Amino acid sequence: MKIAILPGDGIGTEIVAEAVKVLQALDLAFETETALVGGAAFDAFGHPLPEATLQLAKDADAILFGAVGDWKYDTLERPLRPEQAILGLRKSLGLFANFRPAICYPQLVDASSLKRELVSGLDILIIRELTGDIYFGQPRGRRIATDGHFPGTEEAFDTMRYSRPEIERIAHVAFQAARKRDKRVTSVDKANVLETFQLWKDVLTDVGLQYPDVALDHMYVDNAAMQLVKAPKKFDVVVTGNMFGDILSDAAAMLTGSIGMLPSASLNDKGQGLYEPSHGSAPDIAGKGVANPLATILSAAMMLRFSLNQPAAAARIEQAVDRVLTQGLRTPDIHSHGTTRVGTVAMGDAVVKALG
């Protein structure tokens, strides 16, 4: 088993170090190789996703990714920005299925910005399509407008598009995931306005016929955003496109207390996967040793389960995280009255110690 380790920028290096420490403590037989990605790779090689990093990722059984991005790269032309590294990895490896589970640990109910009764016991799974939609649609660019309200002025445009097979394959992923859970799928669209999402809705309905044991309902994205903060426990599996999934998964993260708790898996049709926290590089707290490593540590657990066929080791990590939370250890993002404030490294050490 070979794991590519891509820490990236900002807090990426700090949190990935803790996840690697936890993986190493499990005493499994795997090889790791580390490479630069994002702004760090741009600084060293002039490109956020150098060929060698991409090749390493392609050759690995799984990729553990930290985060990319920093304000200092905001003025670079778009193809050289750190974000292009993660977008390029997703596209090049065909990682179309993004799993973002939002689970509210009982120990953290009071860290959520919502009332305890709304989030207590929360366990939803957002499945985001990750290689299509307006993120990758062509054409895109800038031009001088020839029509519209302000002809003769600069305008920018992106293209939202999905093909039927792209929607079908993510629909199957969602229905199959629902079968292992509460057997309910909510498909989120904007079919009332966008043709792309009318197709999305039609395909979800068609594929749903093959899963009579799973209940399917459709929800407009604006309503879904509202329901997520009004009655989040009503959802089981939420499946949606790349853009809506980006937004809704950040919202769902906060239900659990902190985005610092949310792992993710991005899979292709070969079971190869990239595992990363749902949060970003947080340059404001980078280098301070205060970032929450748990989302990355939990992403490593997803990696063991989904790509490396080590479900028992995954469960050991998840139980260890549960234990450190029960011990009252909290990084600042999840700290509340009466708990013990710890930094990134101490949190990683505590998880290692708590491995059963």
The entry of Mg ion, ligand IPM, none that residue 202 binds, CB within 5 to 8 Å by partner kind: none
Query: Using CB under 6 A, which of 87, 194, 225, 229 touches ligand IPM?
Result: 87
Both tokens of residue 162? 């999905």
CA–CA distance, 177 with 97 (Å, rounded to integer): 11
Where are the extended beta strands (E) located within 148-291?
Answer: 154-157, 184-189, 215-220, 237-240, 263-267, 273-277
Helix (H, G, I), strand (E, B) or coil at 100: strand
Q: Does 182 bind ligand IPM (CB under 6 A)?
A: no
In the complex, the smallest distance separating the C-beta of residue 192 from ligand IPM, rounded to whole angstroms, is 24
CB nearer Mg ion, residue 155 or residue 246: 246
| CB neighbours of residue 28 within 10 Å | 12
Both tokens of residue 319? 């139980």
Kindly indicate which of the ranges 35-43, 79-87, 115-123, 161-169 contains the residues binding ligand IPM, using the contact rule CB under 6 A.
Answer: 79-87
Tally of helices (H runs) and strands (E runs) in the chain:
12, 14
Judged by CB under 6 A, the chain residues 187 through 216 that form the site for ligand IPM are none
Query: Using CB under 6 A, which of 40, 86, 89, 295 touches ligand IPM?
Result: 86
CB nearer ligand IPM, residue 246 or residue 322: 246
Q: What are 310-313's contacts with CB under 8 Å, separation 24+?
A: 310/28, 313/26, 313/28
Write the interaction track for Mg ion spanning residues 240-269; mark x where CB under 5 A is met and - where it is not.
------x-----------------------
Per the annotation, the verdict on 135 as an active-site residue is yes
Per the annotation, the verdict on 158 as an active-site residue is no
The entry of ligand IPM, Mg ion, none that residue 86 binds, CB within 5 to 8 Å by partner kind: ligand IPM
Q: Does 158 bind ligand IPM (CB under 6 A)?
A: no
Kindly indicate which of the ranges 82-90, 114-122, 200-208, 254-262 contains the residues binding ligand IPM, using the contact rule CB under 6 A.
Answer: 82-90
Per the annotation, the verdict on 202 as an active-site residue is no
CA–CA distance, 176 with 268 (Å, rounded to integer): 15
Write the interaction track for ligand IPM spanning residues 238-277; mark x where CB under 6 A is met and - where it is not.
--------x-------------------------------
β-pair type (2-8, 31-34)? parallel
Q: Do the Cβ atoms of 219 and 186 come closer than 8 Å? A: yes
Given the residues 59, 217, 222, 269, select the one marked as catalytic.
222
CB nearer Mg ion, residue 158 or residue 182: 158
In the complex, the smallest distance separating the C-beta of residue 69 from ligand IPM, rounded to whole angstroms, is 6
The entry of Mg ion, ligand IPM, none that residue 251 binds, CB within 5 to 8 Å by partner kind: none
Given the residues 135, 162, 211, 275, select the one marked as catalytic.
135
Distance set, CA 190 to CA 17, 169, 227, 240 (Å)? 40, 19, 15, 10
Which is nearest to 223 in space by CA: 207, 202, 240, 210? 240
The residue whose two tokens read 């420490």 is 21
Per the annotation, the verdict on 190 as an active-site residue is yes
Radius of gyration from C-alpha coordinates of the chain: 20
Per the annotation, the verdict on 246 as an active-site residue is yes
Given the residues 110, 202, 250, 322, select the one marked as catalytic.
250
In the complex, the smallest distance separating the C-beta of residue 65 from ligand IPM, rounded to whole angstroms, is 10
Given the residues 123, 182, 202, 246, select the one marked as catalytic.
246
| CB neighbours of residue 145 within 10 Å | 14
The entry of ligand IPM, Mg ion, none that residue 103 binds, CB within 5 to 8 Å by partner kind: none
Q: Is 123 left (phi over 0), alpha (psi -120 to 50) or beta?
A: beta
CA–CA distance, 322 with 308 (Å, rounded to integer): 22
In the complex, the smallest distance separating the C-beta of residue 87 from ligand IPM, rounded to whole angstroms, is 6
Angle, helix 12-25 to helix 294-306, in steps of 10 degrees: 50
Kindly indicate which of the ranges 81-89, 103-111, 318-326, 342-350 contains the residues binding ligand IPM, using the contact rule CB under 6 A.
Answer: 81-89
Q: Do the Cβ atoms of 276 and 9 come closer than 8 Å? A: no
Interacting residues toward Mg ion by CB under 5 A: 246
Q: Catalytic positions, please?
A: 135, 190, 222, 246, 250
